[in-house]
Copies of this chain bind each other. A is one copy, B any other.
Amino acid sequence: MTISKGPQAFPRTEYLRRLDLVKAEMARRGVGVLVVSDQHNITYLTGYTARSAYVPQGLVVSSSQEEPIFILRRMDRPAAIYQCFMDQEKIVSYPEELIAHPELDGYDAIIDYLLDAGFSTSGIGIEQYNVSTPTFDKFRKRLAEAELVDFTKVVAWIRLVKSDLEIEVMREAAAIADAAIARAAEVIRPGVREADACSEIAATLIRGANGKPGTQLEPLTLCASPRTGTCHITWAEDVFRNGSQVNLEVAGARHGYASALMRTYSIGTPTDRLQRVHDIHLEGLEAALETARPGATCSDVANVFYRSIEKRGLKKESRCGYAQGIGWTEPTASLRDGDLTLLAPNMTFHLMLGNWIDDDFGYVISETFRVTEIGVDVLTSSPRKIFQLA
């Protein structure tokens, strides 16, 4: 018995368009075949989002074949048939014996495939930063006559500019993030456990918005007093108190794409310091969004923000955000000083202005935006305020 292909997040033409961009890079770099092992790149090129990347898997893109071959663990083949755009004969599984095998693993099956398919003397692209040294050594040894070419971040750079179809998915995800930010304002109350508030926020991220559910749950972080100087604690075993400040980061998620959003909450009147920091960051945020347009660089956007808050006596040490899409943070363009990536239409960023000023005091605000022909289109739409709660 077999499983049928499920509803697809994107039409076949969209995946073929993406693959054409990858194949053009392959031609430019002189490789006939590419092994994509980064799970987010695999999602981009196939639609596959099941959570199997804790074992080896690889997408083999060949310049002479329209569809790629996805090689993964036997038990994950049905999910790949269901989710991927390709014909099911392109989903090839390796046996369960390779899981936790003392010497072999799924990469041996991928190398076997490359050898069988006649690529033993080809140029072969490998995402070197995504494989460990012993795995890369295995490729070198077993494909000794091939020329291994590093493809680290090559597919990720292609992902940087989204199609209109991708933008729509990120817009759906942004609406989910907005819903979670609003839900948080309803459930953060004195005496409530942080976990209970987070359970409601997570439930909202999964239920989604506008009839579109979240299709996975991205980690949320809630850092409340006395932990507002921290940024990546999920939540603590603590309760909210009168006077507590709460820094929240969430991301709505659709089909692997994340749209992130941060807001700060105050139980009771914000302190003067918090209000002042908010006012200064808000001005900087608006200045940054006004700067972002085709032709400006990532560095320009960051520096407009840095100069804006410095004028008023604040500093931010960390970058001002990053390219965003599948898997939340993309590993390419950063809104940081010195990043000369030119903004172009349909690039999407998380303008992340969280600022952990002291070890015991931080503040967060952010937006997810896309670059348009003339400026920006902010996908998230929560009020840019400190949410003051009773």
Binding site for B on A (CB under 8 A): 1-4, 6-7, 49-52, 54, 74-79, 81-83, 95-96, 99-100, 102, 128-136, 152, 193-196, 198-200, 202-204, 206-208, 213-217, 219, 221, 226-227, 229-237, 317-319, 322, 329, 331, 334, 336, 338-339, 356, 358-361
Contacts and interface: CB of A to CB of B under 8 A. Distances in A.
Given A195-B215, A202-B203, 16 more contacts: A2-B360, A50-B234, A51-B219, A75-B318, A96-B319, A99-B336, A100-B331, A128-B132, A132-B133, A134-B152, A194-B213, A196-B207, A196-B213, A215-B237, A217-B217, A217-B219
B129 A132 contact: yes
A131 B200 CA distance: 37
A336 B152 CA distance: 34
Contacts of A360: 1-3, 78
Contacts of A199: 202-204, 206-207
A318 B207 contact: no
21 contacts: A1-B360, A2-B360, A3-B359, A3-B360, A54-B329, A77-B359, A78-B230, A79-B227, A79-B230, A82-B230, A96-B317, A96-B318, A128-B132, A131-B132, A131-B133, A132-B136, A194-B213, A195-B208, A198-B206, A200-B203, A203-B203
A2 B359 contact: yes
Given A2-B360, A82-B227, A217 B237 contact: no
Nearest to A79: B230
Contact of A3 (B4, B227, B331): B227
A82 B230 CA distance: 9
Given A359-B81, A360-B3, A336 B50 contact: no
Contacts of A235: 215
Contacts of A214: 195
Which one of A102, A227, A319 has the greatest number of beta carbons of chain B within 10 Å?
A: A227
Contact of A50 (B6, B202, B213, B232): B232
Contacts of A219: 51, 216-217
A136 B4 CA distance: 43
B51 A232 contact: yes
A81 B318 CA distance: 19
A195 B216 contact: no
A208 B219 CA distance: 17
B132 A130 contact: yes
Given A99-B318, A134-B129, A213-B195, A233 B202 contact: no
A75 B3 CA distance: 46
B230 A3 contact: yes
Contacts of A329: 54
A82 B233 contact: yes
A233 B83 contact: yes
Q: Determine which residue in A76, A208, A234 has the highest number of CB atoms from chain B within 10 A of its CB, and name it.
A: A234
Nearest to A356: B75
Contact of A334 (B75, B100, B215, B232): B100
